[in-house]
């Protein structure tokens, strides 16, 4: 199980995208969400000792360590981000179930979710989010913020 943050971003047409992020280490080629600026970017270079990341467009994003302001994207409704390979293949991020998106639209109080993960050992030790047949995250728990 892993707890992840839920972020919404609105574009110029007031259409929202949802990004699910992790506090895992950010490395080159990772897609990231900058909380401070409300922007997504693909990391070209991670400069942890100096606490910043350089995007593929050479913009600098600061982590501001407390709290970190940039998080690694692991799932999204945005179909324009994902990973390509050397032969032109495209690998989109896992998405979110229709029922989760409907709940998020009705109740704007979801701040984190807990997902199921699988432990992989090859080629390196890492946790990979479980997805269903539709490539949607398997969500175990939805955590909400109580409004006063």
Domain that holds residue 102: 2-144
Say which DSSP state 83 is in.
E
In this prediction, residue 148 carries a pLDDT of 45
Q: What sign does the dihedral 75-79-82-87 (CA atoms) show?
A: positive
pLDDT of residue 88: 75
Instruction: Identify whether 67 is preceded by a cis peptide bond (ω within 30 of 0).
Output: yes
Give whole-number Cα distances, 32 to 24, 56, 140, in Å: 11, 11, 23
User: What pLDDT, on the 0 to 100 scale, is given for residue 11?
Assistant: 66
Tens digits of pLDDT across the chain (148 residues): 778 888 877 766 667 888 999 888 888 888 988 887 788 888 887 766 556 777 778 887 776 554 457 888 999 988 888 887 777 788 888 888 888 888 787 776 677 888 888 877 776 667 788 888 888 888 888 877 654 4
* Residue corresponding to tokens 């690998």: 91
In the prediction, which pLDDT does 73 show? 92
- Cα gap 51→36, rounded to integer Å: 14
How many C-beta neighbours within 10 Å does residue 104 have?
19
pLDDT of residue 145: 63
Report d(CA 115, CA 2) in Å as an integer: 5
Distance, CA of 73 to CA of 23 (rounded, Å) = 9
Residue 64 has a pLDDT of 57
How far apart, in whole angstroms, are the C-alpha atoms of residue 49 and residue 53? 10
Q: Number of folded domains in the chain?
A: 1
């Amino acid at each position: 199980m892993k707890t992840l943050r839920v972020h919404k971003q609105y574009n110029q047409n007031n259409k929202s995208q949802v990004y699910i992020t992790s506090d895992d280490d950010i490395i080159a080629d990772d897609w990231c969400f900058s909380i401070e600026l409300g922007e997504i970017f693909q990391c070209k270079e991670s400069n942890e000792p100096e606490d910043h990341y350089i995007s593929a467009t050479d913009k600098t994003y600061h982590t501001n360590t407390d709290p970190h302001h940039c998080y690694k994207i692991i799932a999204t409704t945005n179909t324009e981000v994902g990973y390509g390979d050397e032969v032109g293949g495209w690998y989109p991020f896992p998405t979110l179930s229709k029922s989760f998106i409907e709940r998020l639209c009705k109740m704007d109080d979801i701040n984190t979710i807990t997902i199921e993960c699988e432990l992989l050992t090859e080629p390196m030790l890492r946790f990979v989010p479980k997805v269903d047949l539709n490539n949607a995250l398997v969500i175990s728990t939805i955590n909400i913020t109580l409004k006063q």
